[in-house]
Amino acid sequence: MNEEISPQQGDLGSTQKTQNEAEGKEGGSIIEKLHALPIILIEKKSELLFEKLQAYAPEKEICFCDGLITDIENGYPTGDEKAEEEKKWERDGTGFRRENVLVIDHHMKLEEMRRNISSTNLAIEYVLKNGPVDEDTVVIITHTDCDSILSAAIMRGILEPKEEFGVAAIAADHTGEANQIGDLVQALEKDKKGHDLRDMEFSYRNLEHLLRGEELEPMAKEILEHRYNQREQVLHIIEEGMKTTASGKVFYTELEASIDSGLFPPMIRSAAVILLYIPLYDKDTKERVPGMEAKVRLGLNVPDGTDLKKIMKKYDLVWGGRWDAGSNQRGKNIEDLLKLSGHDPVETDLEEILEKSAHNPDEADLQKITEIVDPIWGGHWESGPIQEDEDTKIKELLVRGTKFDIETYAQKLDQAYQTYIESLQKSS
């Protein structure tokens, strides 16, 4: 098991600080509680197979926080009689349960999740009704952003299920509003260069310092200051003049380095969609590669129920994310892209190419593939491991980013958005 257990600026208010100081000192510090009630940090993935998650602790209860289980939407209760007979997941409070696994996650593809809600909100509601999970339960997360850190600690019984934690998670995950807790814990996921720290204890220690009104550790202070500087940078970018499409719906700009797109919505409240173009880098070598990463996020000026995933799936098939934000840098394999675009890999005479790409991507005829697949999906080709164990190392060919210039991408995104909104209005 990949186990790691080491692992503008709002105001908490004096009354809240006093309450939090008392809470932190009663029953031991957050870190002492973490050592007594561990949280397991596993490999970072956007989705996880149920069987792989279950394998981490097949004989124990598992609580998986702030992570999506692949195809879970095909197994939860729908109300349809036939589907009910075949369902694999059952509601358990604000979570979903299958066998020994409880999932507390806002990424699930449910209508009720297409709003500003976080896994922390779900955890708070669950614990207020049912209490935290048992001590023997294995609590698992895949990443260390604000929502994962807070939701796991609440389900574990390390943090109390208080409303301010839910507010902080929504600010960090959705609205971009300034919030002391949200800004700190979200910032501590990465260092100033944007590299994942994956250090739970570092995040929890400094969260406790904040809650107690104590000084942060020097590195935490630097990282938090970097986030505040990013907020100032966003304001400068907007003041310098982000471009808009003719409809005024899509605001877009090209940047030299990555920045948290979640900081933009509260500063440009008239935007329906925000598009940022970021240089694309090889995940292993960190060297600049052809193409651009397109970060797309819903603004605040959209109708309730707007689902960005539905907008993007007909426009940029490499794009991945949730209902309100995502990008096309994660990568999709070429066989999936062909199927999504209506091509049969065998009928398109690519069977041999795909076979080569699975075992030796360097031998694949990328030119032939790009002639068949629309160039919007053709930013950067790279090989990436999809399965590694002692005996096998299977690789696939991935495509990331886009070759389109930002003006073209923004115009097509605007058209896709307006077409979606028209269909949404007709159906309501």
pLDDT band with cut points at 50, 70 and 90 for residue 318? confident
pLDDT at 176: 86
- What Rg, from alpha-carbon coordinates, does the chain have? 22
Q: What pLDDT score does 359 carry?
A: 53
Question: CB of 210 within 8 A of CB of 216?
Answer: yes
Q: Are residues 246 and 318 in the same domain?
A: yes
Q: How many domains does the chain have?
A: 3
Check whether residue 98 and residue 120 sit in a common domain: yes
Last residue of a domain, one of 196, 227, 258: 227
Q: Based on the fold, state whether residues 382 and 281 are members of the same structural domain.
A: no
Helix (H) or strand (E) run with residue 3 in it? none
Place of tokens 């990555």: 258
Long-range contacts, 233-241 (Cβ 8 Å, 24+): 233/259, 234/259, 234/263, 234/264, 234/267, 235/267, 238/264, 238/267, 238/268
For residue 261 the two structure tokens come to: 């797109």
CB atoms within 10 A of CB 422: 10
Prediction pTM value: 0.72
346 contact partners, CB below 8 Å, separation of at least 6: none
Question: Looking at residue 377, what DSSP letter applies?
Answer: G
Q: Residue 130 above 70 pLDDT?
A: yes
Q: What is the per-residue pLDDT for 98? A: 92
* Span 379-406, average pLDDT: 55
Helices (H), 172-307: 180-187, 200-211, 218-241
DSSP letters for 255-271: -SS---GGGSGGG-TT-
Going by C-beta distance under 8 Å and a sequence separation of 6 or more, which residues neighbour residue 224?
Answer: 183, 184, 187, 188, 216
Residue 296 sits in the same domain as residue 321: yes
**What CATH number is given to the structural domain containing 415?**
3.10.310
Is the residue at 232 inside a domain? no
pLDDT number for residue 14: 32
Q: Facing residues of 298 across strands?
A: 273
* Cα distance between residue 411 and residue 409, in whole Å: 6
Q: How far apart are CA 297 and CA 251, in angstroms?
A: 10
* Res 378: pLDDT: 47
Residues 260, 382 share a domain = no
In single-letter form, the type of residue at position 357 comes to S
Same domain, 341 and 275: no
Residue partners of 164: CB distance under 8 A and separation at least 6: 12, 16, 181
Give per-residue burial for 330-339: e unless 16+ CB within 10 Å, then b: ebbbbbebbe
pLDDT greater than 60 at residue 11: no
Compare 254 and 9 and report the one with higher pLDDT: 254
Going by pLDDT thresholds of 50, 70 and 90, the confidence category of residue 207 is: very high
Q: What is the domain extent for residue 205?
A: 14-227
Q: Is the pLDDT of residue 162 over 90?
A: yes
Q: What are phi and psi of 95, to 5 degrees?
A: -115, -175
Residue 284 lies in a domain: yes
> Is residue 391 located within the same domain as residue 408?
no
Return d(Cα 335, Cα 89) in angstroms, integer.
29
**How far is residue 101's CA from residue 114's CA, in Å, rounded to a whole number?**
23
Identify the three-state secondary structure at position 421. Answer: helix
pLDDT score recorded for residue 141: 97
Residue 211 CB: number of other CB atoms within 10 A? Answer: 22
Query: Does residue 144 register a pLDDT over 50?
Result: yes
Q: Is the dihedral of CA 50, 307, 65, 283 positive or negative?
A: positive
Q: Are residues 140 and 276 in the same domain?
A: no
Nearest of 269, 64, 75 to residue 176 by alpha carbon: 269
Residue 47: φ, ψ to 5°: -140, 155
pLDDT for the residue numbered 74: 62
CA distance 141 to 158: 15
Is residue 318 assigned to a domain? yes
d(CA 338, CA 345): 6
Give a yes or no: residue 235 inside a domain. no
Residue the block writes with tokens 């998670």: 169
Asked if residue 423 belongs to a domain, the reply is yes
- Residues 272, 315 share a domain: yes
Residues β-bridged to residue 278? 293
